[in-house]
Amino acid sequence: MTQAQLRHRIFLKLKQFTGTLEETSDNSVEIINAMIDEGSREFLHQTLMLENLNTSLTYNSTYDGCSLPSDFMRVKYLEWRSTDGFYGLIQPTGIEHVRQQRNEWKDLSDEGAKEISPKWYAIYNNRIVLDSESTSSPALYYYKYDAVLSDTTSPAYPTEYHKYLIDYVVWQLTGDNKSQSQWEYGIKKALGSKRKTGNIRARYIDM
């Protein structure tokens, strides 16, 4: 369903309650649109339904790290692709551990340190910081948020889950227990579907 279709169904459902918003009000439309996007982000946060791959992260030498994509939610895994063709996973750790490792490389020449394949990374200040001096980009497999919707666009995840955004908005505005139960059922249904597929069907968007 598009945002406009979702919004229309939300207003129809809200007519069951007293003192609800009117669809003719511009302010009401803005509120509902914002809550649809809020519900979509919460749905993806709980289900990790959308995944993406980025192999060209931008390195920022001032901050010694790669800036995260604007739609980034959570790392699935980080992969290092060395010049000799070998692949390896980079493991998550804390920023203090990464800084300690980087300090150890300072005893080496700059070029020598840059050739060291990273073993650890930390997420710090919206950046990925590696434990080596390499300025190359690791391959980031990550869970992502959807783009902000417009009247003519639909959520990027399967259509069968769009209707639960209606329940989310109605629940948030009215406290309706039935709408809350439907929303929670939609989350469980999506998680169950993800488990059945073994989480191997990555829905890469805009690669």
Helices (H), the chain: 3-14, 26-47, 95-105, 110-114, 163-174, 177-196
Distances in Å between the Cα of 197 and the Cα atoms of 59, 146, 193 are 35, 21, 7
Do residue 137 and residue 187 come from a single domain? Answer: no
Q: What is the pTM of this model?
A: 0.81
Do residue 33 and residue 60 come from a single domain? Answer: no
Distances in Å between the Cα of 23 and the Cα atoms of 16, 19, 136, 179 are 14, 13, 51, 20
Segment 168-196 mean pLDDT: 92
Is pLDDT of 199 > 60?
no
Is pLDDT of 204 > 50?
no
Do residue 136 and residue 65 come from a single domain? Answer: yes
| Residue 201 maps to a domain | no
- Domain total of the chain: 2
Is pLDDT of 1 > 60?
yes
DSSP assignment, residue 62? T
Segment 16-37 mean pLDDT: 80
Is pLDDT of 109 > 60?
no
DSSP assignment, residue 160? G
